[in-house]
Amino acid sequence: MDKSRAALIDGKAFAAGLVQRLAARIETLKSTTGRVPGLAVVLIGDDPASQVYVNAKNRQTTAAGMQSFVHRLPADTSSDALLALVDALNLDPHVNGILVQLPLPAHLDAAAVINAIAPAKDVDGFHISNAGLLATGQKALVPCTPLGCLMLLKDRLVDLSGLNALVIGKSNIVGKPMAQLLMAENCTVTVAHSKTRNLPALCRAADIVVVAAGRPELVRGDWISPGATVIDVGINRVERDGKSRLVGDVAFAEASHAGAITPVPGGVGPMTIACLLSNTLTAFARQHGLADA
């Protein structure tokens, strides 16, 4: 029997290409303006997964020719101390982008911290001002993960207009901005979540499925319409055959009849970091009155 294979959407390779193009532009900026973009990352506490991500980001920021400023603060940092650091970074001319690693320890108010970041330096795109600009079709800094997903979708499908898109997950960080971006591309967008009824049927009607549910292998193969494009945002660490493994929110092995699918790892994750660097360059350019790329 001919068992066709879904095309693999190689986020890792796409991200590497994007970072290469960013590095070239940064090199040019350096020779014309004498400046390079700077990214400040604030990490509170010692969550091991957050450490790994911040280290990867620090390495790639430097490799792309940008300045990286990492601020590691103890888990019991006070709200006042954190807000004072954010204020200082807002005023620092060498810092063009600010990222406060989430989740924060429970005693800190994430929304208050995010909204204290100068919107022009909010390279996560989480500030209410950027969320509002995106929702109303104005020039915003767009959250990195949905921005990366959209790049992969446009690379694959070119024109998304009129397609049925299902977004599973309604977080402020992924689901909501993803839905906004897909609406801006003239998709017919459905947003599903943990209380949604008959998710399999909604999924079967979708040309595009973006899954950001945070539940390992939630989406089964028989939920996916033949030829659909599947973007798996999930990164779940699970025990399998006595080993620790990463799996997505989609049962990847069951999805061979999809048109195309992102793997985990090597799909959306690397795009998130590449888009963070892209947003930092965008923020730098706008702060210096230069044109967007």
Ligand X SMILES: Nc1nc(=O)c2c([nH]1)NC[C@@H]1CN(c3ccc(C(=O)N[C@@H](CCC(=O)O)C(=O)O)cc3)C=[N+]21
Largest CA distance in the chain: 65
Q: Which is nearer to ligand X, 245 or 288 (CB)?
A: 245
Specify whether 101 is catalytic. yes
Span from 23-31, 90-98, 100-108, 209-217 in contact with ligand X (CB under 6 A)? 100-108
Residue type, 132: G
Taking the C-alpha atoms of residue 44 and residue 51, their distance in angstroms, rounded to an integer, is 10
Which residue's entry shows tokens 């967008």? 189
Instruction: Tell whether residue 102 is a contact of ligand X (CB under 6 A).
Output: yes
Q: Which is nearer to ligand X, 187 or 247 (CB)?
A: 247
Instruction: Tell whether residue 105 is a contact of ligand X (CB under 6 A).
Output: no
Instruction: Give the residue at shortest CB distance from ligand X.
Output: 269
Site string for ligand X, 141-170 (x = CB under 6 A): ---x--------------------------
Site string for ligand X, 246-265 (x = CB under 6 A): x-----------------xx
Q: How many Cβ atoms sit within 10 Å of the Cβ of residue 36?
A: 17
SS3 string, 71-108, reads: EEECCCCCHHHHHHHHHHHHHCCCCCEEEECCCCCCCC
Taking the C-alpha atoms of residue 17 and residue 160, their distance in angstroms, rounded to an integer, is 22
Specify whether 139 is catalytic. no
- Name the site residues for ligand X (rule: CB under 6 A): 53, 99-102, 124, 144, 235, 246, 264-266, 269-270, 272-273
